[in-house]
């Protein structure tokens, strides 16, 4: 595993981290969740990313991962970074969502109970809340660190200007913003165009990019053009243009570039995200341990020639409607 320093912090993250958003919740067996987490850890993936609402049902991924921690990682807590988040709908009523102090602190307590932990390593505000003063949300994050419930804090899905202002507020509370968690892939370059990576670097903040495989779309199994069994199609969140033959043709062309590099399409997609020095980690999901092995295999070829990058850019396009 390659470990990269997270911004100007003392913390290093694995270049590949494992997220438990989909496929680790309710219906997944302990054996299946455990096998993927153990394989990841054995490959040097020391970071596991969760959120209050991961499942389905919401909360079940944290509960399942808590069981894995108890049964399989009992002696490894200090070798592992665990993150959680609050901000998307978790429970009914006015306190079950968004960025109030009430929601963040209650949700963190609930996550700790499900995980069976005294603290998480990173706690995120999961989304920007336009109706709550940023001072309140950042104050709640700082409070979680000061009360020992989180070691570090981060911001996910924040517009760049709000992230920068949030980081300054956190700094004034004595709790630096460790990390930003945006969505970023060959098929979704929006945050790069908005200047997120430049802003993160200027402020000494690391970044961990989620859905680097566009939820599995950037993988060889979609090249047949049959998307019906895909996770992306099941969640109804296909990247713009991918429902049609032209989109599949672009995937095939990207796969050819990957093949010439000696990589699978998924491996090239991960290497592409990690090509930016501001990216601390690529945050993948996985339905099988073998996918994690393949993803880690991407690290053996992270360099890109200017011609390769230009060819990928020609094929890439924005998926504004995700």
Ligand X SMILES: NC(=O)c1ccc[n+]([C@@H]2O[C@H](COP(=O)([O-])OP(=O)(O)OC[C@H]3O[C@@H](n4cnc5c(N)ncnc54)[C@H](OP(=O)(O)O)[C@@H]3O)[C@@H](O)[C@H]2O)c1
The residues that touch ligand X, with contacts defined as CB under 6 A, are 19-23, 49, 126, 156-157, 181, 210-216, 219, 230-231, 266, 283-287, 291, 294-295
Least distance in Å: CB of 53 to ligand X? 10
Nearer to ligand X, 213 or 319 (CB): 213
Q: How far is CA 182 from each of CA 103, 250, 313, rounded to the nearest angstrom?
A: 22, 24, 19
Nearer to ligand X, 20 or 310 (CB): 20
196-228: b (≥16 Cβ within 10 Å) or e? bbebbbebebbbbbbbbbbbbbbbbebeeeebe
Nearer to ligand X, 152 or 307 (CB): 152
Nearer to ligand X, 126 or 149 (CB): 126
Structure-block tokens of residue 122: 């990173």
The label of the residue with tokens 């700094």 reads 171
Nearer to ligand X, 88 or 172 (CB): 88
Least distance in Å: CB of 267 to ligand X? 7
Least distance in Å: CB of 213 to ligand X? 3
Least distance in Å: CB of 130 to ligand X? 16
Least distance in Å: CB of 11 to ligand X? 18
Least distance in Å: CB of 231 to ligand X? 4
Task: Provide the 10 A C-beta neighbour count for residue 321.
Answer: 8
Structure-block tokens of residue 34: 């455990």
Using CB atoms, what's the residue nearest to ligand X? 19
Quote the DSSP letter at residue 239: P
Nearer to ligand X, 26 or 147 (CB): 26
Select from 113, 182, 152 the least CA-distant residue to 9. Answer: 152
269 close to 251: Cβ distance less than 8 angstroms: no
Nearer to ligand X, 144 or 186 (CB): 186
6 close to 280: Cβ distance less than 8 angstroms: yes
Q: Which are the contacts of 88, defined by CB distance < 8 A and separation ≥ 6?
A: 51, 52, 53, 97, 126, 127
Task: Provide the 10 A C-beta neighbour count for residue 97.
Answer: 21
Least distance in Å: CB of 250 to ligand X? 17
304 close to 272: Cβ distance less than 8 angstroms: yes
């Amino acid at each position: 595993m390659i470990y990269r320093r997270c911004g100007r912090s003392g913390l290093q993250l694995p270049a590949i981290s494992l997220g438990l958003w989909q496929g680790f919740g309710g219906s997944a067996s302990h054996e299946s969740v455990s096998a993927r987490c153990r394989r990841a850890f054995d490959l040097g993936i020391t970071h596991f990313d969760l959120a209050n609402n991961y499942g389905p049902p919401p909360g079940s991924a944290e509960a399942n991962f808590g069981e894995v921690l108890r049964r399989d990682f009992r002696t490894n807590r200090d070798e592992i970074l665990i993150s959680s988040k609050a901000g998307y709908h978790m429970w009914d009523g006015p306190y079950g969502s968004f960025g109030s102090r009430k929601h963040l602190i209650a949700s963190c307590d609930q996550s700790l109970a499900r995980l069976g932990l005294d603290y998480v390593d990173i706690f995120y505000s999961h989304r920007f809340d336009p109706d709550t003063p940023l001072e309140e949300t950042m104050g709640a994050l700082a409070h979680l660190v000061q009360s020992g419930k989180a070691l570090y804090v981060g911001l996910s899905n924040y517009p760049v200007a709000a992230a920068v202002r949030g980081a300054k507020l956190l700094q004034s509370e004595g709790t630096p913003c460790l990390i930003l968690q945006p969505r970023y892939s060959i098929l979704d370059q929006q945050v790069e165009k908005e200047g997120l990576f430049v802003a993160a670097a200027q402020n000494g903040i690391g970044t961990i990019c989620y859905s680097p495989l566009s939820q599995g779309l950037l993988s060889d199994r979609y090249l047949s053009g049959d998307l019906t069994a895909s996770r992306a199609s099941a969640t109804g969140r296909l990247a713009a243009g991918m429902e049609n033959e032209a989109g599949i043709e672009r995937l095939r062309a990207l796969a050819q570039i990957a093949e010439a590099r000696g990589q699978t399409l998924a491996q090239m997609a991960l290497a592409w995200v990690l090509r930016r020095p501001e990216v601390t980690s690529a945050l993948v999901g996985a339905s099988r341990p073998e996918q994690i092995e393949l993803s880690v295999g991407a690290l053996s070829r992270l360099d890109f020639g200017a011609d390769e990058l230009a060819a990928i850019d020609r094929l890439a396009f924005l998926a504004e409607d995700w």
